[in-house]
Amino acid sequence: ERSKFNQAIQKTNDEQLLLNLVRLKYRDTPFFLEVSNVASQFRLKNKASFKAQLESMVKDIFNLGASTSYEQSPTVSYSPLHGDKFVKNILSTLPLKTIALLFHSGWSVERVFRVSFQLLAELENAPGASGPTPRNAPQYKEFLRAVKYLQELDDKDALNINYQEPNDQPQMVLQISKDAKKTEPALEFARAVGTPSNKSMYILNQFPTLDQVEHLRVVPRSFLGIMFYLSQSIQVPERDILKGKVTLTKNPDGGKFDWFDVTGELLTIRSSAEEPSRATVRVFYRDTWFYIDDTDLDSKSTFSLLAQIYALQSGAIKDADPILTIGIGS
């Protein structure tokens, strides 16, 4: 039965994460309830029977019978994630060490940087989207172009990212191979971040000192900021926009800004009045189904990345009495 429990917990974890993204889009309060314990009892029952039928003209007067059955009584305990440590981890910016770890775990540099950073050098990646939906269109195009150049280098195995802490100062080092430092992606990235075109090493620093003028300043998002950022990808029903239940972002000319231009390649959360039949994860909220299409591989990848970041940032569940214990039954 372990695989069934595994699937059920994974499914409900994804549903909770999606639900909290939708809540943030509507400026509702997110809440995390984690499975802290699963206990299950098995009972095996064996039954045998022997019957005799004493009647004339009957050859087989003895009837034998046997049966075996089992019942399972699982109990699931839920605990809320709260307290100083959890709040600190959720609101603190993502450590550079974690961002480097995600890259070395196989995630693309473009996906990791777009989700994790809101500023690289002087390039903004929609920093206002790290909170409730802003009213004015964000700046993001130059940042996207810069990380796409890094992705081109990574696709050619010409990029490496390392983490270091000289004098207890966290830093990320982008190393471009010598053979690739004069290629177009390397030259264009140098131009985008405003550095000499012959550089092959870039040091990313969250708090550069006055003598570290060659370092590129970066500002990571917090986990909550990442959730706010990705919640902009939700396609809200038009009726909720007309009723003012969500913020409408506008371009400088007053027209409606399309957040798909920012997050469309990362994550798209669709909405439907009817329950979707082809969804990898779905939740029903505010009389609407919100879901991720099972064939949208980019969205599924980004959602999986978000789940990994959540696991890294939330930390261990503090031992405490569960808020709710449910005996599921047999």
Residue pLDDT, tens place only, 100-151: 999 999 999 999 999 999 999 999 999 999 999 999 999 999 999 999 999 9
For residue 22 the two structure tokens come to 């939708």
Dist CA 103 CA 85 (whole Å): 25
Residue 106, φ and ψ in degrees, nearest 5: 110, -5
User: What is the pTM assigned to this prediction?
Assistant: 0.85
Dist CA 258 CA 248 (whole Å): 10
Residue 192, φ and ψ in degrees, nearest 5: -65, -40
Whole-number pLDDT of residue 319: 45
Dist CA 231 CA 218 (whole Å): 22
Residue pLDDT, tens place only, 142-190: 999 999 999 999 999 999 999 999 999 999 999 999 999 999 999 999 9
Dist CA 24 CA 65 (whole Å): 60
Residue pLDDT, tens place only, 43-87: 776 666 666 565 555 555 656 666 777 676 778 788 887 777 778
